[in-house]
Structure 1
Amino acid sequence: MTAPTPPTPPFRDPRLPLEKRVDDLLSRLTLDEKTAFLHQFAPAVERLGVAAFRTGQEALHGVAWMGPATVFPQAVGLGATWNEDLVRRVGEAVSKEARAMRARDERVGLNVWSPTVNLLRHPLWGRNEEGYSEDPRLTSAIATAYTRGLRGDHPVYWRTAPVLKHWLAHNNEADRDTSSSSVRPRVLHEYDLRAFRETVEAGAVAGVMPAYNLVNGRPNHVSPYLAEHLRAWTREELLVCSDAGAPSNLVDSEHYFDTHEEATAAALRAGVDSFTDHGTDSTKIVARVRGALERGLLTETDVDTAVRRQLSVRFRLGEFDPDPAPYAGTADFDTPEHRELAREAAEQAVVLLGNDGVLPLAPDTRIAVVGLLADECKLDWYSGTLIHRSTPLEGLYERFGAARVSFAEGVDRVLLRTGDGRFLHVPPSDGSASGARGAEGALDPALLAGRTDLPPLTAAADGTELALADWGEGVLTLRAPDGRYLSVAEDGFVRASADQPGGWVVQETFRLEPHGNGHLLRHLGTGRPVRVAADGVKVAADDADAEIFEPVVTERGEDAVARVAAGADVVVVVAGNDPHINGRETEDRTTLRLPAHQERLLRAARAAGGRTVLALVSAYPYAVDADAFSAVLWTAHGGQAAGTALARVLAGDVSPAGRLPQTWYADDGDLPDLLDYDVIGGRQTYLYFEGTPLFPFGHGLSYASFGYADLSARVGDGSVRVSFTVTNTGDVTADEVAQLYGRAEEPSVPRPRRELLAHRRLTLAPGATAEVVFEVPLSALAFWDVAHGRWRLEPGPYALLVGASSEDVRLSATVTLDGEPSAPRPVRERGLAAADFDEQSGTEIVDRTRTAGDAVTPVAGATGELLYRACDFGRGVTGVTLTVAGEGSAEIALDGVPAAALATDAPTPGPYDYVEIGAPLAAAEGVRDLRIRLRGTLRLAHVGFSG
């Protein structure tokens, strides 16, 4: 007799609602099994037929770290397209490739940690390449488009499950795991939260990843904002994945908790559902969770909540369906459509910053292309491996013909002479990694920095001429004639073994340091100098054992540039950065200026007498002398089609229409401190900056011209309808990005000079006209009213500004809106939350407790001042009470007149041990401005009034 077929468990039944399926599977798991799910690498549960699962697959501009894949432009380049439809299609292609790659390799994950929606507040941030824009609305629009592409359009199942990075207010790499971003409530709501909120509310986000930093003194991994804001924006079960190593940082570097059990419990209760820590080793996290359970710091319900959120994502990915989910059979990988999309995205990302008419280049132009990036197709930390490759030089060869294009990289060519008169010598490779360019132009993929089977460098009478590239601040790369970069492997030997600088620790960078009668060659990856030993060149134990080298320059880069430029009509200088050097994850930039070596190449190109085009290929803005060039273009590193795209724009096959997604400042002096997160008080980004930018937010030129007309603005029920026409008045088909900005004309508090409300990228043939209509919700013009702790639309006139950039306004209209008038703060009844100030100086916001609330304290060594405008004391109060911790004093003034002085008798036992101190308050009646001056280590949480 045949045994009966066991019934299908409910969690395997796709006819049931997803919530019931999740609940059924959760009920079948033991506490130990659920606990094991809390680590990034969740093990299989064989008795239930549940496979292993891991959160996390990088997919910022293509599937990363898992081998060959289509590589699209960097995220900041996608932001520069201002084109949601394009970015949605890119997200769709990336998610299809993730599915196709997973079919071949189960290590490829479907929970993708992308996109990054941190705002590009500060252009020296090392991870500028990962964000979309300094503007929250543009960031949200692009991020929403990308996540919709990643998710797919099925009503139930998701192609991939995107997680937004990095929650919250994260814009510095220096001390990123210990620094705190002081974020006042208006900045929090109007700026940092907004970028996340609008994307989450759009419904295509699976979760978020908290950032390494602290916000207002509290680590993001125990942030109350996860519950108060993030999870309030949607009914979906959002998955919160920790950043790598961040759970341990709560104790090890931040010292926020005494034990890892406390830290893990706090993070789990705050809303972290998956712990990315200790790589694939889950034992430490599991032990910490078990310890927290045993100590009563966690309950099984807390664990269930996190596991339910994980399972919700896994069900949406179709993992538990008996038949393949709709996306399981996706096989689209490196298709002609994906290659074409990569080229289209790279073309649309090019921004023409200036042009005196030299562009587009005529077909018979003799072109000299020079610069460190002229024959490079650079990848970054979050790139996949190139299948196809196109450099600017290759693109120009293809478009204009090799006979019309001459080339000089512009690096210095050097021999490194040892103290005994020999020279560094690069032995031939062993044939398995010849260093020759393949059919697609890439070096042999076997060239890896960690290889130890290639012969190390030696010292010999016939030295090898090395290409020395100076990337700024003395950071050098050295390359053999066949294209191999010098690199150091774990065994300490120096080999020519890398096709590009790269890796978490870059092993291909060096510095020549003056020493005695010569120079030390210091390897920056290890921090150790190089020496010549009998068995080859290697890093030394210390400086005393180092080799003294004399660089012998055989050709200066400037001379090579001058030579090829002399016979050209136009010199195209391709300058910029290597995404792994001097500005990347873990390393902020120090200046907006180009490296000195590249500045010298620019001067040499200009001195040749021809017309000079500067093509900046970089992950971030630069401060350059734009007037010194006939034309200036910028593009982010554009992925596999970067060179073809740039050449087509230079030739006029494509009219450039990228627009700057962030302000380009003219000088380092225009920048705030990197850790000043107060965009309002610090007058940061185009929203508040009052200086003259090098190039403004939204700027970008075209080979066509466009006319704007027929502006109409009509206020309706809950929105304002804005319409206008755009006409291509040029003689080529081109794209224009029409931009709508708004500005409160009579604000009661500091408001943006103008803020982006809507935009649209249009394609218009010569003479064609298109009507553009925007329906702008009135809520887009509201601000966070700190006096009452809510959003408020202020009544009065608002300017609506239409044009081609934030500064190039072509049309304007004014509408008068009804709203809620300002009202004084009801301080007599409610007192004042210390962080709800209108203005401040010399203070920072800190955590009131480890779990919730804010306090304000003077910056170390400073006297802090807080201003609260229009405080309503009614018929009068007679006393003031401050809720404080720490030690110090406070002075209170009303309308500038001293009214009270208070001080602590002794320091409180700890920073969270608050006491109340009080004093009489003179002349406190009616509506007055209140100013508080803080000294010492006082942490002020609340101000109360009595009498």
Structure 2
Amino acid sequence: MRFHPGAKRRIVAATLATLATSSHAQAQPQSPAQQRAAKLVSQMTLEEKAAQIQHRAPAIARLGIPGFNYWNEGLHGVARAGEATVFPQVIGMAASWNPQLIQEVADTTATEFRAKYLSKRRPDGSIAGGPGLTVWSPNVNIFRDPRWGRGQETWGEDPVLTARMGAAFIRGLQGSNPEFPKTVAAVKHFAVHSGPEPDRHQFDVHPSARDVVDTYLPAFHTAVTEAKAQAVMCAYNKVDGIPACANEHYLKDILRTQWKFDGHVVSDCAAIADIHMANKHGYVKTPEEAAAISIKAGTDLFCSSGNKDTADPAITVNAVKQGLVAEALLDQAVRRLMEARVRLGLLDEPGQGPFAAIAAKDFDTPAHRALSTRAARESMVLLKNDGLLPLKKAPGRILVVGPNANSVDSLVGNYNGTPSQPITVFAGIKARFAQSKVSFVEGTGWVGPPLENIPDSAFCLDAACTQPGIKAEEFKGTRLAGTPSALRSDPNARVAWGTPTREERAASTRWTGYLRPADSGAHSFRYSGESGYRIWVDDKLVADVWDIAWPTSDTDIELKAGQVYKIRVEAMQKGARGDHRLQWSQPGSSDALALKAAQDADVVVFVAGLTARFEGEAMSVKAPGFAGGDRTTLDLPAPQQKLLESLHASGKPVVLVLMNGSAMSVNWADKHLPAIVEAWYPGGEGGQAVAELLAGDFSPAGRLPVTFYKSAEQLPPFADYSMKNRTYRYFGGEPLYPFGYGLSYTSFAYGKPTLGKAAVKAGDGVELSVDVRNSGKLDGDEVVQLYVSRTAEGAPIRALKAFQRVHLKAGESRKVSFKLDAQALSVVDAKGTRVVPAGTATLWIGGGQPGGVKQAAGVSAKIAVSGTKVLKAY
């Protein structure tokens, strides 16, 4: 077995510390949950214990333990479990800068988890296809580079903002009583993890000591020590040569020993198999070694994601019998898991405990959807406004254009639930401006012509079109091999698996039949989904993207209205998103239609951006600007940019509404358009919030949780994990829109700050306050941000240390107070030591960062620090 340099020394030290900690723990009185868990584990056989560390834990009937699936997602509402309240994607909620709101959102999400659990619970306590109460959220990884596809799941690029919002989310999910949590939150992905997505199963990160302490770990520390997260998920990648889920330095030395974490650690899915697979990490040679090294490091639960080797409990049994891991360590892992289930009440009859009042119907309620709408309002960021907004008088004619204008996908982001009453931007504008004539033309797709589902009426089983439908042959496996497992007639070339089973994720289908289009002209075809497909029309191959999810070179084909054409579609299913269907772009659904409609409009609202089908987790998408779920450019996709410029050239005022999960380099739009709104993926009711913002029903107060760069060329290579020249704290160039930035329909003024002390000794804290006044004519929220700058080698240019979102009526003033501790005045040196240096600390209190062309209102102050002092790292 290989060890990173210094690992043996750390392991010895950690072992001694663990022994000391264990002896101390044994001397303490155990909680009822710990006692009950220990008793259950003591009655299990080795084989039963090995099965219990799989995320699909089987029942042990003789002990009264029901089967349980630990895998549940809840980033912004209950995900992958049917209809639920869909809140704005996490990056959007981060833009609210409102921890109180986030805790309320998470508490509501936990209520819906409880309700869904009750609705799916069988009499024996197992769950029938529904969610449990262990929630694998929040994601507190730092969004260090805007090209990362999963950045949408995070709270942004700043450690303090991420820590405060993540902690609020954990408190909401779990509640205030750790012995009776509402749900168990699993904070992820520990610890240094943020892409690139295509390389995550092989990638080795070597962060500097400074970056680990100052950037990558603070939010995890807050989640564990302050918010008391009861679970942690370890990441896929290696850190300093050791796979994250087998990394004793992070899981044992830091998490268990230093931070006193006593919950359970779950692997990211398939991460244990990665440890031994030769085409992944290949860190050890056998599945038994992978299981053993993970358990010894402190990973308690294996999410296997279909990898049969590590998903087989026999592997763990073999590891114990071969002497690779002590059975006592397996016992410890199972005890931690049983403790979580006992505390959640999963081993008891429902209707007991502090959450007995929650009923199975308490999800997707009007009150919950209203909270989602409120969260969407608070997340909206006004990036530019030359006075066009708000639309004080309803325009006579409003044209809504763009691929995200009438798209549900663009509302929900990834790791999402299903909104029962989605309100797209087009629908929201049409409802809010009922007195206006509101029309919609898609105009362009995201990266090509606009696509729509082919209607059932276009398909025939025979060349004469006497029978509707299309022949379907379904196969096991992804290669259309062997005898079909199913043969049937479908109304269309589509599948609706919802969340596919493990077997369905390795399936393929061939549809054959005939197609009769309703319009003449050029058509292009696509099979929606995230796995490969091929399409033939009259034996001509018009789409061959068997290994790519989004086509880059599909061939247009001329079709005549009413003529019958042979069609064949072959598609595979490998991923977790199972709702797929055949689509086409038709003649006339292009830029020209939108430009013609714009001639009659008074205002054009162009709803542009991305969806989670382009940016996301380990995707096979390959289209201009995208690779594997990550982005290769920050620009608006070329077809959208082209139509946007053409609409502007028409002379009509154009409002650009962006819907996306990462920064966009909209330089041209910033220069030429009168108004730009960042709406993110705003949740199920997000279209209503966008419409209300345009109308001026509220003053926007969202602030950017990430830097919007002018170009990806301003950044270091994506795979470089050094923070040098990354994020607002270290970026030396000029951004398009800075972190913390956002406009309002009103204005704010800041008085002279009052300091408790103008001079402090190193290690002391300081209190300060400032009067903030709404100097405009409209009520609104201000996000008061406090930044600190210290002069020291390697120190950030400035760093956010505190913030408050406050509501002020027009003309109202309020004193906003902050308490800065010693850590807020500290820096981290190259060795990873946190030090308060002597010298001047420069403070800025305002509605954004100081300096630059987009500086917000604010005031500065200085504190003299005498002496130096070394502090704890976190």
Does residue 591 of structure 1 match 2:633?
A: yes
Q: Residues 188, 727 of structure 1: CA spacing in aligned structure 2 closer, same or farther, 3 A cutoff?
A: same
Q: Residues 176, 49 of structure 1: CA spacing in aligned structure 2 closer, same or farther, 3 A cutoff?
A: same
Residue in 1 that maps onto 2:587: 554
Residue in 1 that maps onto 2:818: 774
Q: CA deviation at 1:723?
A: 0.6
Does residue 215 of structure 1 match 2:239?
A: yes
Residue in 1 that maps onto 2:514: 458
Residue in 1 that maps onto 2:402: 371
Residue in 2 that maps onto 1:691: 733
Q: Residues 723, 456 of structure 1: CA spacing in aligned structure 2 closer, same or farther, 3 A cutoff?
A: farther
How far apart, CA to CA, are the structure 1 residues paired with 2:450 and 2:370? 43
Task: Tell me if structure 2 keeps the 8 A contact 1:352–1:658.
Answer: yes
Residue in 1 that maps onto 2:778: 732
2:652 to 610, 618, 637: 610
Residue in 2 that maps onto 1:641: 685
How far apart, CA to CA, are the structure 1 residues paired with 2:690 and 2:547? 28
1:241 to 244, 263, 266: 266
Residue in 1 that maps onto 2:866: 818
How far apart, CA to CA, are the structure 2 residues paired with 1:250 and 1:242? 11
TM-score (normalizing by structure 1): 0.73
Residue in 2 that maps onto 1:99: 114
Q: Residues 165, 21 of structure 1: CA spacing in aligned structure 2 closer, same or farther, 3 A cutoff?
A: same
1:324 to 341, 348, 352: 352
Task: Tell me if structure 2 keeps the 8 A contact 1:487–1:494.
Answer: no
How far apart, CA to CA, are the structure 1 residues paired with 2:558 and 2:185? 47
User: Unaligned 5+ residue runs, structure 1?
Assistant: 1-13, 417-422, 434-442, 469-476, 479-484, 496-504, 522-531, 542-550, 824-835, 837-947
How far apart, CA to CA, are the structure 1 residues paired with 2:522 and 2:111? 42
Structure showing greater radius of gyration is: 1
2:707 to 663, 668, 678: 663
Q: CA deviation at 1:411?
A: 2.7
1:500-519 equivalence runs, <5 A: 509-513=550-554
Residue in 2 that maps onto 1:230: 255
Task: Tell me if structure 1 keeps the 8 A contact 2:238–2:244.
Answer: yes
1:555-570 equivalence runs, <5 A: 555=588, 557-570=590-603
AA aligned opposite 2:612: P
How far apart, CA to CA, are the structure 1 residues paired with 2:607 and 2:258? 45
Task: Tell me if structure 2 keeps the 8 A contact 1:410–1:601.
Answer: yes
AA aligned opposite 1:298: V
How far apart, CA to CA, are the structure 2 residues paired with 1:385 and 1:414? 26
AA aligned opposite 1:178: Q
Moved more, 21-30 or 765-774: 21-30
Does residue 395 of structure 1 match 2:410?
A: no
Does residue 427 of structure 1 match 2:459?
A: yes
Residue in 2 that maps onto 1:701: 743
1:513-532 equivalence runs, <5 A: 513=554
Task: Tell me if structure 1 keeps the 8 A contact 2:532–2:548.
Answer: no
Q: CA deviation at 1:400?
A: 0.8
Q: CA deviation at 1:213?
A: 1.0
Q: Residues 278, 633 of structure 1: CA spacing in aligned structure 2 closer, same or farther, 3 A cutoff?
A: closer
Does residue 17 of structure 1 match 2:24?
A: no
Give the match's secondary structure for 2:332: helix
Q: CA deviation at 1:164?
A: 0.9
Moved more, 190-199 or 379-388: 379-388
Normalized per residue, the structure richer in helix is 2
Q: Residues 286, 310 of structure 1: CA spacing in aligned structure 2 closer, same or farther, 3 A cutoff?
A: same
Q: CA deviation at 1:786?
A: 4.1
Residue in 1 that maps onto 2:325: 298
Superimposed CA distance per residue, residues 390-417 of structure 1 (whole angstroms, 9 cap, x where no aligned partner): 111111110112643232210389899x
Does residue 386 of structure 1 match 2:413?
A: no
Give the match's secondary structure for 2:553: strand
Task: Tell me if structure 2 keeps the 8 A contact 1:414–1:465.
Answer: no
Residue in 2 that maps onto 1:537: 568
How far apart, CA to CA, are the structure 1 residues paired with 2:718 and 2:730? 16
How far apart, CA to CA, are the structure 2 residues paired with 1:692 and 1:632? 19
AA aligned opposite 2:161: L
Superimposed CA distance per residue, residues 779-830 of structure 1 (whole angstroms, 9 cap, x where no aligned partner): 123233445x63221121100111111233621111012342799xxxxxxx
How far apart, CA to CA, are the structure 1 residues paired with 2:264 and 2:416? 24
AA aligned opposite 2:303: T
Task: Tell me if structure 2 keeps the 8 A contact 1:377–1:639.
Answer: no
AA aligned opposite 2:654: T
Task: Tell me if structure 2 keeps the 8 A contact 1:203–1:234.
Answer: no
Q: CA deviation at 1:289?
A: 1.4
Q: Residues 512, 822 of structure 1: CA spacing in aligned structure 2 closer, same or farther, 3 A cutoff?
A: closer
Identity %: 35
Give the match's secondary structure for 2:648: helix
How far apart, CA to CA, are the structure 2 residues paired with 1:778 and 1:62? 36
Superimposed CA distance per residue, residues 22-80 of structure 1 (whole angstroms, 9 cap, x where no aligned partner): 32223222332222211111122211211122222001111111111111110101111
Does residue 653 of structure 1 match 2:697?
A: yes
Q: Residues 602, 814 of structure 1: CA spacing in aligned structure 2 closer, same or farther, 3 A cutoff?
A: same
How far apart, CA to CA, are the structure 2 residues paired with 1:567 and 1:321? 65
Q: Residues 415, 147 of structure 1: CA spacing in aligned structure 2 closer, same or farther, 3 A cutoff?
A: closer
Residue in 1 that maps onto 2:69: 54
1:127 to 150, 154, 166: 150
Residue in 2 that maps onto 1:256: 283
Residue in 1 that maps onto 2:542: none
Q: CA deviation at 1:316?
A: 1.8
Give the match's secondary structure for 2:708: coil
Q: CA deviation at 1:256?
A: 0.7
Residue in 2 that maps onto 1:334: 364
Task: Tell me if structure 2 keeps the 8 A contact 1:55–1:241.
Answer: no
Give the match's secondary structure for 1:140: helix
Larger relative contact order (Cα-Cα within 8 Å, sequence gap ≥ 6): 2
Q: Residues 719, 561 of structure 1: CA spacing in aligned structure 2 closer, same or farther, 3 A cutoff?
A: same
Does residue 274 of structure 1 match 2:317?
A: no
CA-atom RMSD, angstroms?
3.6
Task: Tell me if structure 2 keeps the 8 A contact 1:425–1:464.
Answer: no
Task: Tell me if structure 2 keeps the 8 A contact 1:617–1:637.
Answer: yes
Q: CA deviation at 1:374?
A: 1.0
How far apart, CA to CA, are the structure 1 residues paired with 2:233 and 2:528? 36
How far apart, CA to CA, are the structure 1 residues paired with 2:355 and 2:813? 40
How far apart, CA to CA, are the structure 1 residues paired with 2:148 and 2:837? 34
Q: Residues 141, 489 of structure 1: CA spacing in aligned structure 2 closer, same or farther, 3 A cutoff?
A: closer
AA aligned opposite 1:621: A
Task: Tell me if structure 2 keeps the 8 A contact 1:371–1:575.
Answer: yes
1:361 to 369, 383, 391: 391
1:190 to 214, 217, 242: 214
Q: CA deviation at 1:257?
A: 0.5
How far apart, CA to CA, are the structure 1 residues paired with 2:711 and 2:450? 36
Q: Residues 796, 776 of structure 1: CA spacing in aligned structure 2 closer, same or farther, 3 A cutoff?
A: same
Give the match's secondary structure for 2:149: coil
Q: CA deviation at 1:335?
A: 1.7
Task: Tell me if structure 1 keeps the 8 A contact 2:457–2:468.
Answer: no
How far apart, CA to CA, are the structure 2 residues paired with 1:57 and 1:414? 36
Q: CA deviation at 1:600?
A: 0.9
TM-score (normalizing by structure 2): 0.79
Residue in 2 that maps onto 1:742: 788
Q: Residues 242, 402 of structure 1: CA spacing in aligned structure 2 closer, same or farther, 3 A cutoff?
A: farther
How far apart, CA to CA, are the structure 2 residues paired with 1:629 and 1:583? 29
AA aligned opposite 1:116: N
Q: CA deviation at 1:739?
A: 0.2
Superimposed CA distance per residue, residues 485-513 of structure 1 (whole angstroms, 9 cap, x where no aligned partner): 76799997789xxxxxxxxx999743435
Q: CA deviation at 1:85?
A: 0.8
How far apart, CA to CA, are the structure 2 residues paired with 1:730 and 1:198? 37
